[in-house]
Homo-oligomer: A and B are copies of this chain.
Amino acid sequence: MKIVALAGGIGGARFLRGLRAAAPEADITVIGNTGDDISLFGLRVCPDLDTVMYTLGGGINEEQGWGRRDESFTVKEELLEYGVGPSWFGLGDRDFATHIVRTQMLAAGYRLSAVTEALCDRWKPGVRLVPMTDDQVETHVVVDDPEQGRRAIHFQEWWVRLRASLPAVSIAPVGADEAKPAPGVLKAIEAADVVLFPPSNPVVSIGTILSIPGIRDAVAAKTVVGVSPIIGGAPVRGMADACLTAIGVETSARAVAEHYGPDLVDGWLVDEADKDVTVEGMEVRSRPLLMSDPEATRAIAQAALDLALELAR
């Protein structure tokens, strides 16, 4: 069985760990969001790819959901001693090594997809992890800054530094229009029996992946099941509501499904709190959606997969 999943960071990575447990024999390709990528200290940082890689490879900080476990922050502290920031982005020493290797390979001419494959040689995530594109796409957020007026800032500045405290006027994946899917992305989707959307952010994770020309159409041609990132009107984690508001979508399981639309998504898994939700043109099922432990997460992934296989028949 061939499965393709689109994935953002923490929520996506945890879902994927459940999916791997639910379908240990399946051939799983993960198309990772790179819109959150940022260059810091001259190094290329890919937070979502790394979160997936570390989570599936056993290196993640479980409590935090991102970054390495047993992490230290000596390099960052030393950089701040030199007056070199930003201080608000938490790069640990172990994590730095990943970015150093990535940057060195990129500088040598390797594409991000090849670099990601090389990094995964170490982590052995048990899935094939492919960035959505090898081209540079960076999500920018337009905010009304009380001090500096309306301006566009990098997604990470809005998300991590400002904790989305300034309302987003708009959110755009800069560079997406000219970007091409990374090698293997479209083929993997075409070959897939089913495509799954983990409960990742529908705007800045799944939405960004779908913004790469060619990916949405390829996905729409398949049987797609999504897991709602919204439970009872609030994001399961993160600040998806701030992103949804920016694009004029209500923070509800139903509104997110309608935002994706029945042309794209065939089945929609919602939490029991949203069991009355219906979406025209979609098969909606309800079950507990809190990924509270590995077994609960496995069962959610199993349910998404089962629904997808049922609809694919």
A interface vs B, CB < 8 Å? 41-43, 72, 74-76, 78-79, 81-84, 93-94, 96-98, 100-101, 103-104, 107, 118-119, 121-122
- Inter-chain contact B72/A84, CB cutoff 8 Å: no
- Cross-chain contact B107 with A42 (CB below 8 angstroms): yes
Q: Give Cα distance in the complex from A107 to B107, angstroms.
A: 12
In the complex, besides A42-B107, A72-B74, A82-B101, 12 extra interface pairs with C-beta distance below 8 angstroms are A42-B104, A74-B74, A74-B93, A76-B97, A78-B93, A78-B94, A78-B97, A84-B100, A84-B101, A84-B104, A93-B93, A96-B96
* Complex interface: chain B residues within 8 A of A100 (CB): 41-43, 75, 79, 84
Instruction: Compute how far the CA of A124 lies from the CA of B20 in the bound complex, rounded to whole angstroms.
Output: 54
Tell me, in angstroms, the Cα distance from A43 to B43 when the chains sit together: 10
Residue ID in chain B nearest A84 by CB atoms: B101
Docked Cα-Cα span, A109 to B103, in Å, equals 18
Q: How far is the CB of A45 from chain B (nearest CB, A)?
A: 13
Number of copies: 2
Bound Cα distance from A307 to B81, whole angstroms: 40
Q: Could you say which residues of chain B place their CB within 8 Å of the CB of A75?
A: 75, 93-94, 96-97, 100
Sampled A-B contacts (27; CB under 8 Å): A41-B100, A41-B101, A41-B104, A42-B104, A43-B100, A72-B93, A74-B97, A75-B93, A75-B96, A75-B97, A75-B100, A76-B97, A78-B93, A78-B96, A78-B97, A78-B98, A79-B97, A79-B100, A81-B122, A82-B97, A82-B98, A82-B101, A83-B121, A84-B100, A84-B104, A93-B93, A96-B96
Q: What residues of chain B lie closer than 8 Å to A122, measured between beta carbons?
A: 81-83
Q: In whole Å, how far is A103's beta carbon from the nearest beta carbon of chain B?
A: 6
Question: Inside 8 A of A101's CB, which chain B residues have their CB?
Answer: 41, 79, 82, 84
Chain B residues lying within 8 Å of A72, measured Cβ to Cβ, are 72, 74, 93
**Nearest CB in chain B to that of A72: its residue:** B74
Smallest Cβ-Cβ distance to A94: which chain B residue: B78
A256 to chain B, nearest CB (A): 38
Q: What 4 pairs across the A-B complex have the smallest Cβ distances?
A: A78-B97, A42-B104, A74-B93, A79-B97
Closest CB in chain B relative to A94 CB, distance in Å:
5
